[in-house]
Structure formats: structure tokens, C-alpha cells
Amino acid sequence: MVGVVVGLFVVAAASLIVSGQLGENRRLLLDTQLQQDLRATADIVARELRRIGAWNESWRGIVSDDTPAAANALNTTSAPANVATNDVNFSYQRTTETGGWRFRLVNGVVRTTLGPNMPEQDLTDGNVMVVDSFQVTREPLTTVRIPCPKLCQPGNTVDCWPEQTVNEFVVEITAHARADDTVRRSIRSRVRQRNDKVQFNVAGAPPQACPS
């Protein structure tokens, strides 16, 4: 009898150890999958934000003897300066496709529209993870005046000269595993917009780069 009791204690202890190890292994797998999915999502968002303002006819932004410089109408985004948003629209040109790009958080899922006339689709898998927070912040690093041959009238000022703004975007995502809400991860990435924003300030329609 004593041997049987000792044996039962040994079996119970072994079962607890195995059960704990299985639980930890499951939690580790969930954590790894969550981290990988977060990284993949942040990389896709950063890749697209980097392209804001890409323009197949960028050569039109350079003034010539008989043609004024044209403003880049694609260099737009709904992300305000230094304010986080979970719904960002932006524009760029890829081959013949123009505009229509978007990322937003809807009921724990980051959704995306990647192209004009394209249906919105899930970027993250709601069966795997629940996104608690998705934030995109546009940070203007610096703004400089681009010199023109002439001063602005009246007043001989430089107020109407073009302004070039260097933008960076900060992407922050926090999520937890659908199967275990104690498994939580966050990721933060920073991406520089390749096509600097140039704002034309000469009054008129269409606007022109420098006063004539």
C-alpha cells in the first residue's frame, strides 16, 4: 500500500510537470506567432508610408524656360502633424494606379486598401491576434524655404517661396493573442518618407512654384 501511495504521488508530480511544460510551450508558440505577425504588419505599413508622394511625372516639378514647375498633387496624407491616428489615408502613384491607399483599425483588426477601386481587406488575422492599438504619427522633422529668383510682392518678402518639409512616420501597434489574452506584444517602427513634401505658396490657379 505504501508503495502504491508513493507511486501515485510520483505520477501526480510528473503529470503536473508535464502539464506545466506543455502550457509554457503553447504560450511560447503563441508569443512567437504574435511577434512575427506584428513585425510583418509593421513592415507592410512602413513600406507603403515610405512611398507617399511617388509620382511617375516628377520631372514636371522642375521649372524650365517655357514651362512652370507643377505641384505634386499626390503628396498628401490625412495624418496630422504630431498627432496619432488609427485611420490614415495617403496617395502615391504605382505604374498607372493613383491614390486610394489606406490603413485603419476596425474592431481589433488592421484593415487596408492598397490601390484605387480595390476592396478593403484584413491586414491582420483576427483569428490569431486582436489589435488593441494601432497608431500612425506624422512627425515633420524640418521645413525650409526653397529660394526663388524673385521676392514676393508686395513687401519684398519670401512668404510665397515654396516650403519643403521632411516627414517621418512612427508606427505603433499593440496586440494580444486571440487564444490567450495574457500573451501581449507591442512594436514600434519609424520610417522616413522618401518624397519630401513641397508646398507651393504663390496665389493663383493652378499654383506656381515662384513668383513671376
pLDDT in tens, 119-178: 899 999 999 999 999 999 999 999 999 998 899 988 899 999 999 999 999 999 999 999
Residue 206 lies in a domain: no
- pLDDT above 60: residue 187: yes
The helix (run of H) or strand (run of E) holding residue 129 is strand 129-145
Residue 208 lies in a domain: no
| Whether residue 80 has a cis bond before it, omega within 30° of 0 | no
Residues comprising the chain, all counted: 212
Considering the entire predicted model, what is its pTM? 0.80
Q: What is the pLDDT of residues 70-79, one digit of tens each?
A: 888 888 999 9
> What single string gives the DSSP state of each residue in 142-210?
EEEEPP-SS-BTTTTBSTTS-EEEEEEEEEEEEEEESS-TT-EEEEEEEEE-SS-EEE--B-SSS-BSS
| Residue spans of beta strands (DSSP E) within 22-124 | 87-90, 93-94, 97-98, 101-106, 109-114, 121-122
Residue 211 lies in a domain: no
Q: What is the pLDDT of residues 77-97, one digit of tens each?
A: 999 999 999 999 999 987 766
- Domain total for the chain? 1
38 CB-contact burial (10 Å; exposed 0-12 / middle 13-18 / buried 19+): buried
Residue 132 lies in a domain: yes
Residue 205 lies in a domain: no
Which residue range(s) make up the domain with 144? Answer: 2-199
Q: What is the pLDDT of residues 10-55, one digit of tens each?
A: 555 555 565 556 556 778 888 989 999 999 999 999 999 999 999 8
Q: What's phi and psi for 198, nearest 5 deg?
A: -120, 120
